Amino acid sequence: MVREAQLEQTPAGLVPKGEGWFVVNAKEARWMEHEAFGSGTTFEGEPHFKEIGVNIGVLAPGQPACMYHRENQQEDFLVLFGECLLLVEGQERPLKAWDFVHCPPETNHVFVGAGDGPCGILAIGRRREDEQLVYPVDEVALKHGAGVENETPDPKEAYAPYGRPVEAPYRGQLDGAS
């Protein structure tokens, strides 16, 4: 039998402790906030999920989710509410609630909030021990403040101009969902 993981209350929300199954409401989970890259929850504690990463990100209009990148693993996304732009392989694609995006390994991509209010995106991705990231130079991504000036495989270099996210409790990020 698989045991139930305990949830620990932190100032930023509930965090699972140890291995095992658990249930947590997204609004009660620990959230992270970043001035440049929005807010979100990963539902994870220590150890991190071994096989699949799952998170919800919330973006304000014009706010990128991260830096334009590609990786050697599959990722899939579902827009839960609001509007955003998908920057993919040098193209812009407008998205709205319930649009699904599939990115096979090596697909260059990033999301940027759009519209009049927040946008919520569910992200699910494979985890690999041999994860490889690349942050390529892309004019479309640079136009939206989501690109690097010089290609790099190093996240520390790609995010050097930005501070770290901070843990924070849920602050109504999902209230745009209806």
Per-residue pLDDT tens digits for 119-166: 999 999 998 888 899 999 999 999 999 999 999 999 999 999 999 999
Angle at 46 between CA 42 and CA 49, to 5 degrees: 55
pLDDT for 176 equals 58
Q: Is residue 81 part of a domain?
A: yes
Q: Is residue 22 part of a domain?
A: yes
Q: The domain containing residue 140 runs over which residues?
A: 6-153
The number of distinct structural domains making up the chain is: 1
Q: Is residue 146 part of a domain?
A: yes
Q: What's the pTM?
A: 0.94
pLDDT band at 177 (very low <50, low <70, confident <90, very high): low
Q: Is residue 163 part of a domain?
A: no
pLDDT for 178 equals 46
Per-residue pLDDT tens digits for 6-29: 999 999 999 999 999 999 999 999
Q: Is residue 168 part of a domain?
A: no
Q: Is residue 108 part of a domain?
A: yes
Angle at 174 between CA 118 and CA 141, to 5 degrees: 35
Cis-peptide into 47, omega within 30 deg: yes
Per-residue pLDDT tens digits for 72-94: 999 999 999 999 999 999 999 99
pLDDT for 47 equals 87
